[in-house]
């Protein structure tokens, strides 16, 4: 598996869309598998979005790959996590309107209100606005928020300097908070 994955990563890094699709699929399968494995084992113990992405990347990649390919895969993982959570938030909102997911009782999960889904979707709208203002800054924010990527990892994935990523993040944060009043 690791060999195939690193081959896909190399192709994906050089702009091969088919390879990116393949990685996207593989990442999704991993994310889903890890999340489902977590359910029922210890629902009270929290598993953060960024930990999920890192775990998925680790399972796909194994260790000992180049920092560049790891960063690339983390970046794809962050994007995937964002897409998954947007879908999830929309479904949760539908819950509120009574037409969506079957109600399931899962202890601590009940504490999460549909208000959280709305807050998340507001954040998503702000990130989309940031994307229109400054696309790379939006990517850096997604890397950090959804993938837990360090500035160094983000810099490798975006092929810019660490200082640039830090400026991107400063601007991105300020933009989002200004928009959301948070």
Which of positions 39-68 make contact with other proteins (CB under 8 A)?
A: 39, 43, 46-49, 52, 66, 68
What is d(CA 53, CA 142) in angstroms, rounded to the nearest whole number? 12
Q: Which stretch binds other proteins (CB under 8 A): 54-62, 86-94, 149-157?
A: 86-94
The sign of the torsion formed by the CA atoms of 115, 121, 125, 126 equals: positive
Q: Are 68 and 156 in contact (CB under 8 A)?
A: yes
> How many angstroms separate the CA atoms of 53 and 149, rounded?
10
Q: How far is the CB of 121 from other proteins (least distance, A)?
A: 9
Tokens (6 digits) for 49: 């979005």
Which of the stretches 20-28, 55-63, 150-158 binds other proteins when contact is defined by CB under 8 A? Answer: 20-28
Query: Does position 2 bind other proteins by CB under 8 A?
Result: no
Closer CB to other proteins, residue 1 or residue 170? 170
Of 1, 62, 67, 83, which one interacts with other proteins (CB under 8 A)? 83
Phi, psi of 149 (to 5 degrees): -80, 140
- What residues contact 104, with CB distance under 8 A and at least 6 apart? none
Of residues 108 through 127, those in contact with other proteins by CB under 8 A are 108-109, 112, 116-117, 119-120, 123
* Residue 156 lies near other proteins (rule: CB under 8 A): no
Tell which one of 81, 149, 151, 156 touches other proteins (CB under 8 A).
81
Q: Does 129 bind other proteins (CB under 8 A)?
A: no
Asked if 160 is part of the footprint of other proteins (rule: CB under 8 A), the reply reads: no
| CB of residue 83 to other proteins, shortest distance in Å | 4
Kindly report the number of other CB atoms within 10 A of residue 45's CB atom. Answer: 8
End-to-end CA distance of the chain: 43
């Amino acid at each position: 598996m690791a060999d195939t994955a690193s081959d896909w990563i190399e192709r994906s890094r050089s702009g091969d869309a088919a390879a990116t699709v393949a990685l996207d699929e593989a990442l999704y399968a991993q994310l889903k598998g890890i999340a489902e494995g977590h359910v029922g084992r210890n629902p009270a113990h929290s598993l953060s979005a960024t930990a999920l992405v890192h775990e998925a990347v680790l399972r796909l990649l194994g260790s000992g790959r180049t920092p560049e390919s790891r960063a690339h895969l983390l970046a794809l993982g962050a994007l995937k996590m964002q897409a998954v959570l947007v879908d999830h938030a929309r479904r949760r909102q539908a819950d509120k309107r009574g037409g969506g997911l079957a109600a399931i009782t899962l202890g601590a999960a009940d504490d999460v209100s549909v208000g959280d889904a709305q807050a998340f979707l507001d954040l998503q709208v702000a990130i989309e606005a940031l994307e229109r203002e400054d696309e790379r800054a939006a990517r850096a924010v997604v890397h950090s928020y959804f993938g837990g990527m360090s500035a160094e990892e983000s810099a490798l994935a975006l092929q810019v300097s660490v200082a640039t990523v830090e400026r991107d993040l400063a601007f991105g944060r300020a933009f989002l908070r200004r928009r959301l009043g948070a």
